Amino acid sequence: MTTDPLALLSGAKITDLHDHQDIVLEGQYREAYDAMLDAHNAGLYVGLIGPVGAGKTALCRKFAEDLGKPFDWVTFSDLVRPSNLIGSFDPTLVFKYGFAPEAFSPGPFTISALQGGVFLANELNRGDEYVLNVLLDALEERKLYVPSLRSWYRVSDDFYLIAAMNPSEHRGTRRLPSAVQDRVKVWVELGYPKRATELKIVRSRCGEYELGAAQLELVLELVDHTRNDPAVERPASIRSSIGIARLAAERSKRLGKAVDNTTLAEAAKLVLGQAILMKPGRSREKYLESLLVRVLGTAGA
C-alpha cells in the first residue's frame, strides 16, 4: 500500500462521474422524469422540490446520464460565493500573468455552461440572492460574464440547469428571488414514494444482504408511520429505510442469526433516533418506543 500522496491521488482519481447504480424509475419518479424530459426538450429549466432524501439528486444524475451529457453540481448555502460558481484566479499566477485566462480556474458552473453539460443547482433556495443573480445572464441570454477577465462567453446550446430544493417552509431556506423563480419554468414536486416503489429502492440498495420481503415491509411500515404522524415535524426519508435495513442485516450477519424483530427494532432506534424531529413538546424517545412496540412488538433489547 503506497503512502506517496501523488500516487494515491492519481490512483483514486475518478474520470467518469456517472453513478452507474440503477435507480427505480417508476411511480412519481417516472412522472417526474417524463416532465423533466419534456421540459428539457422544450428548452425550459426545471425545478425539483421535495423533502430531504426524496431522491432528487439521484434522479438528476440519472437524467444527465441518459442525456449523455457531463454532470456538474454545486450545493448552495450562505457560504457559497460567486467565485465558487464562476471560478477564481490563482493569486500566484496572477502575479505572473496578470488577470489573464492562464491564471483563471473556472468553477463548475462555468465548465458546465461552456461545455454544454447538465448543471444541478442543489439546495438553490439556501443560496444568497447576490450569488443567484450570477446565474441570470447564463439562463436567459445564454452568455456568461467573468468580471476580472472583462469578457463575455457564449453558453453552449446544450447547457441545461436543474434546480433542486427543499420546500420553502423548511428551516434555513429562503424565498427564491423572483428573477430566478421566473426563469425556472417547470416545477416538479417529489414527495416520499409509494410503498411499492420505496420497497424496490431499498431492495436495490441492499443487494448484498438477504432480507425477506416481510422484514422490508416492517421497515417501511416504521418509516411510513413517521411520515403520517402529526407529532412528527421532520419524518424519516428513504435513506432511513435503507439505513435500517442495512444495519439490521449487517448486525444479524455479525451475530450469526436471522434478522428478527428485535434486531430491526435496535437498528431502527439507532437510525431514527436522530433522523426524525418531533413537534415541540413531544418526546422522541417515547414516540419511538411506542412506534416500535406497535409495529414490531418490541422496542429492542
H runs (alpha helix) in 98-228: 108-115, 129-132, 136-140, 178-183, 195-205, 213-228
Per CB under 8 A, 274 contacts other proteins: no
- Of the pair 156, 181, the CB lying nearest other proteins is at 181
Among 143, 154, 257, 286, binds other proteins (CB under 8 A): 286
Q: What minimum distance in Å lies between the beta carbon of 180 and other proteins?
A: 11
Torsion (CA) 20, 276, 174, 152 in degrees, nearest 10 = -20
| Residue 141 binds to other proteins (criterion: CB under 8 A) | yes
| Spatial distance between the Cα atoms of 260 and 277, rounded to a whole number of angstroms | 26
Q: Residue from 23, 24, 49, 264 that binds other proteins (CB under 8 A)? A: 49
Residue 234 identity (one-letter amino acid)? R
| Binding status of residue 66 toward other proteins by CB under 8 A | no
Name the one residue in this structure whose C-alpha cell is 429562503.
174
Nearest Cα to Cα of residue 166 among 76, 93, 255, 82 = 76
Considering only 92, 150, 157, 254, the residue that binds other proteins (CB under 8 A) is: 92
Residue type, 272: L
| Residue 154 lies near other proteins (rule: CB under 8 A) | no
Asked whether position 44 contacts other proteins by CB under 8 A, the answer is: yes
**Is 112 exposed, middle or buried, given 0-12, 13-18 or 19+ CB atoms closer than 10 A?**
buried
Integer Cα distance of 7 and 77 in angstroms: 33
Query: According to the binding rule CB under 8 A, does residue 181 interact with other proteins?
Result: yes
Distances (CA, A) of 271 to 218, 221, 239: 15, 15, 9
- The binder of other proteins chosen from 133, 173, 261, 298 (CB under 8 A): 173
Between 18 and 37, how does the x/- string for binding to other proteins read (CB under 8 A)? ----------x--x--xx-x
By CB under 8 A, name the binding residues for other proteins.
Answer: 28, 31, 34-35, 37-44, 49, 78-79, 81-84, 88-92, 94-96, 140-141, 148, 167-168, 171-174, 178, 181-183, 185-189, 230-231, 233, 277, 279-281, 283, 286-287, 290
